[in-house]
Amino acid sequence: MKLDAKQIENVVIVSIEGDLDAQNAPELAQFFKDQMAGNMNIIADFSKVEFISSAGLRVLLATVKEARRQGGDLRLAATQKNVDKVLTISGFTRIIKNYKNVDEAIKSYTE
């Protein structure tokens, strides 16, 4: 899994490349924590994620809870069909906002 982050105004965009499973979920959890230091508005770019396990879902849930506790939010962008299906079946689409692309997710923080 490859992780990258960049800041645009008051939003940090975390780009994830590869499958998100039990093996690398702790790495992503730590990466999110590192990015939240002073930046509570986070977008996870899922355009290059084709699989997410329950361990990955737990990381998303913990991250969105922490971001909201501190007055921010976690939003997803560009989820692939397989990942979108898992998010829908698991009920995560009611918890975390999901946008077609990163630009729409960025705009959602200004609306």
Asked whether 99 and 76 are in contact (CB, 8 A), the reply is yes
Instruction: List, for residues 20-76, the tens digit of each pLDDT value.
Output: 999 999 999 999 999 988 778 999 999 999 999 999 999 999 999 999 999 999 999
Token pair belonging to 13? 């965009």
- What domains can be seen in the chain, in order of their start residue? 2-103 (3.30.750.24)
Provide the pLDDT for residue 22.
96
| Tens digits of residue pLDDT in 61-78 | 999 999 999 999 999 999
- The answer to whether the pTM exceeds 0.75 is yes
Q: Which two tokens stand for residue 31?
A: 């990466």
The CB-side HSE value for 54 (13 A sphere, CA atoms) comes to 1
Do 60 and 92 contact (CB within 8 A), yes or no?
A: yes
- For residue 28, give the nearest of 39, 40, 17 by alpha carbon: 17
pLDDT at 110: 87
> What single string gives the DSSP state of each residue in 2-31?
EEEEEEETTEEEEEEES-B-TTTHHHHHHH
